[in-house]
Every structure is written in structure tokens, then in C-alpha cells.
Amino acid sequence: MIESGKEFIMENVLSLRKKMTQKELDNQLEKIGEFLQNNGATQAGPIVTVTFGIETKEREPLLDMEILVPMDKELELSGDYVFKPLFRITNAVYARHKGNPADLQRTYNEMILFIQENNLQQITVGYNVLINEPMPGLTLDDMIIDVYIGINPNIL
């Protein structure tokens, strides 16, 4: 079921934006976990991923991605990591995807159709909130991902 007018907020967010392969993405997620542990911080909510673009020049697609991780406290960040005290999406179209992330495009297609049918104007890419992360005992088919797409609140 697709809903509109939704909001998603995180505080004390570590942000990493770079171009990476799927394997590099997995490595970066692991590095972020180690970074938090080494700095006495813990993850304070679900990880959010955003894909801004995909380059397919090489054998393996290169994803222009951002990883957003809410933390339990403020940290001084440097290098590739950026600190965002507040992250907020308002007036968003929302859908919950249950199942293999490989089928996530179907959820996106349904959301885009909803946006078009309701004469809404998309103003952000989709933000994927990983409600449950892959763990032993869970398969990819058990994944739950909430998707938020920001919509222009103006009525013209």
C-alpha cells in the first residue's frame, strides 16, 4: 500500500557518499560499523541507502550512492564521512517493500505510477530504509525496506 504525506527523521547521522560497486558497498557498511565501535558510538536506527545514479561502463556497475547511519551521539567526522545533525524527509510518498531487494524496482514502479496518477511532483530520489538487516537465519526474502520519495508540497 502506498501512502502520501509521510515524514522520516534521523538525528546525529553519519553520511558517506561515493561511487562504489556492490562489493565495495558491503565493505563500506562493514567499515562504518567498525568506525562506530572504535569511536564508542552505536547505530541508533535503521541504515538508509540512496542511489543517485548507476554507471555501467565497467564489467560491474558503479553505483553513485549515499549511506546514512543514525548514531547515538555526535561524532567529529573527517575524510569521506560527513556529520549531519538532522536528516528529514517530509511530504513523502511511502511504501513498504517486503521480500528480496532484487524485486525493489517493482515497488519503485508502483510508487512512480502513484505519483503520476495523483499529479504529484517528485523532488527527491528514493530513500531506502533497511528495517531489518540481513542476519543469520534470515534470507533475502525476509527483508523489509521502507521507501520514501519526497514530493513537492506546492499546489500549482
Spans of all domains in the chain = 3-151
* Cell output for 149: 520519495
The 10s digit of each residue's pLDDT in 48-101 is 999 999 888 767 888 999 999 999 999 988 899 999 999 999 999 999 999 988
pLDDT of residue 134: 66
| 78, 86, 96, 98, 145 from 101: Cα distances, Å | 31, 27, 12, 8, 8
Q: What is the C-alpha end-to-end distance of the chain, expressed in Å? A: 26
Q: Report how far residue 92's alpha carbon sits from residue 146's, in angstroms, rounded to the nearest whole number.
A: 12
Within 8 A by CB and 6+ apart from 147, the residues are: 94, 95, 96, 97, 104, 107, 108, 111, 126, 127, 128, 129
pLDDT of residue 33: 93
Superfamily of 3-151 according to CATH: Regulatory factor, effector binding domain (3.20.80.10)
Q: Are 145 and 101 in contact (CB under 8 A)?
A: yes
Of the candidates 83, 71, 95, the one whose C-alpha atom is nearest the C-alpha of residue 147 is: 95
